[in-house]
Amino acid sequence: MDRVFEFMGNHPMLVSSFIALLIAFVVTESQRGGRRISGNELSRLVNQHDARVIDIRNVQEFREGHITGSMNVPYSQVSEKAAELVKLGKPIIVVCALGQVASTAAKTLKLAGATDISFLGDGISGWRQQGLPLVR
């Protein structure tokens, strides 16, 4: 333990940079709109907890293939329909193409009052890579 304090004393810039990055990471993660889940966990939540899957891709992408039972709410309309989606009273899973935009949409839903919200971490592309089914 003495060596840790010695290192900290000898490298204050390195230690302060590490602490700043750690704080930035914690702040960024705390501002996410929900938890990141896998395709298998999405299936489990839908089957066991009757979770509602919200696909935020545009209508054309949705028609090309989507998860069974998902509801298409394009990203541009998420804030308008947030209150309506929260009223469903079910767990919500947000899906996008790659998993990046879904966390932002999940945050919008969380701010609207959703308590049980997740997003598909790798999006529809990850879903396809896992060989999971899509409907047209």
**Domain containing 85 — which CATH number?**
3.40.250.10
CA–CA distance, 28 with 133 (Å, rounded to integer)? 32
- Are residues 21 and 83 located together in one domain of the fold? no
Do 59 and 83 reside in the same domain of the chain?
A: yes
pTM for the whole structure: 0.76
Count how many domains the chain has: 2
Note down pLDDT in tens along the chain; length 136 residues. Answer: 788 889 889 999 998 999 999 998 877 766 566 888 999 999 999 999 999 999 999 999 999 999 999 999 999 999 999 999 888 888 999 999 998 899 889 989 988 888 889 999 899 999 999 999 999 8
Give CA–CA dist 71/58, Å, rounded.
12
Same domain, 57 and 94: yes
User: What pLDDT score was predicted for residue 32?
Assistant: 63
In a domain, 56, yes or no: yes
Tokens of 56: 């935020």
Same structural domain, 94 and 115: yes
- What is the structure's pLDDT at 25? 84
24 and 89 part of one domain: no
Say if residue 60 is in the same domain as residue 11.
no
The predicted structure's pLDDT at residue 5: 87
Residue 135 within a domain = no
Pair (44, 95) in one structural domain: yes
In a domain, 87, yes or no: yes
* 128 contacts: CB under 8 Å, gap ≥ 6: 65, 134
Domain that residue 111 falls in: 34-129
